[in-house]
Amino acid sequence: MKNAWFYVLTGWSTVTIGLFLASFFGSIATEHFGITGDGRQVIHAVVMSGIVLPTILILYKKMNKSLPTPRPPAYSMKRAHHFFGGFILAAGLAFVGLFLASALNLIEINQWNVPNAWIGALLLNLLIAFFYEALPEELALRGLIFDALNHRFTVFLAVLFQTIVFMMMALTVNFLQVLVGMSTFDLFFLQLPQLILLFVFGIALALIRIYTGSLWAAIGFHLGYLIMARFLIMPVEYGAPPIVSFENVSELNFGATVMIDTIIYGCIGLMLVLLLFRRVRRSKATTSLSQ
């Protein structure tokens, strides 16, 4: 596809501007109207989805029309059931990481809090995170941008390039926030751990998209990761206790690192094994047909 880079650039620009404006208007709401907490998060979600979703859908339709053989969009509602598989995978791996960290004596589990204590806050955050982060980011990055790259390059290069775009999005948003005085400038090496996390996270999301053939699986996994990070691994104040209360035995917070790594690297490993198994099975089927 000759104009692949046009869709990559416009997709990246849309999601980057959407994230920046969401944080910008959220900051204005706090400074001038005293809106904080969930109210500010709702503003983030409304602005982000309001900018990204219609723009990316228009670009997606335009791109599909330019193809010699139009393909069913990866965001087709016929594949929406994959959302639950992606979410459950992220949640399951998070709890595997929790028990692994406990077995390695990196954390000490104090108690499991009853669902009534945290379910309301979790469901509200789930809805906000869906429209602020998981849906618009995946539609742009693992959807439009990945498809545009995959029409031009091999799958391996498409996965690599879309992940680099993912990292550049975060760097550019930070740069724009610095320009308007919303944030201080972080040197590249100070952002390196976060960029590495984005890199491997982007690979995991792309592999889920490739294996299932559905963008909804990546959306579900993205959302599941965010919810587990906020209500299990590194809980912050959401007006509710976390799913599990635990203490870090190590001052370096290795327990949280193990849990996050279990989700991301566990997903990458599982998807690679499943993709390899599928390839071997198809190769055997092709060989059998040719005999």
DSSP 48-73: HHHHHHHHHHHHHHHHHHHSSS----
Instruction: Determine the longest span between alpha carbons in the chain, in angstroms.
Output: 74
253: left (phi over 0), alpha (psi -120 to 50) or beta: left
* Burial letters 118-148, b for 16+ CB under 10 A, else e: beebbebbbebbbbbbbbbbbbbbbbbbbbb
Query: Whole-angstrom Cα distance, residue 191 to residue 185?
Result: 10
Q: What are phi and psi of 111, to 5 degrees?
A: -165, 155
Nearest Cα to Cα of residue 59 among 16, 6, 17, 19: 6
Q: What is the pTM of this model?
A: 0.95
| pLDDT (tens digit per residue) in 145-190 | 999 999 999 999 999 999 999 999 999 998 899 889 887 766 555 5
Q: Which of 34-38, 46-50, 165-169, 251-255 is least confident?
A: 251-255
| pLDDT (tens digit per residue) in 108-117 | 999 999 999 9
Predicted pLDDT at 187: 57
Distances (CA, A) of 161 to 120, 140, 154, 202: 38, 13, 11, 10
Q: What percent of the chain has pLDDT over 70?
A: 97
In this structure, the chain runs to a length of: 291
Burial class (CB in 10 A: 0-12, 13-18, 19+), 225: buried
Please identify which residue in the block is written with the tokens 């979703």: 53
Q: Which residues neighbour 258 within 8 Å (Cβ) at sequence distance 6 or greater?
A: 97, 100, 101, 104, 106
Distances (CA, A) of 42 to 35, 67, 133: 10, 37, 12
Nearest Cα to Cα of residue 144 among 282, 40, 15, 235: 15
Query: Whole-angstrom Cα distance, residue 230 to residue 244?
Result: 11
Predicted pLDDT at 146: 97
| pLDDT (tens digit per residue) in 217-266 | 999 999 999 999 999 998 877 778 999 999 989 777 899 999 999 999 99
4-33 mean pLDDT: 96
Helices (H) and strands (E) in the chain, counts: 10, 2
- The DSSP call for residue 35 is -
What does the block give as tokens for 36? 């904080």
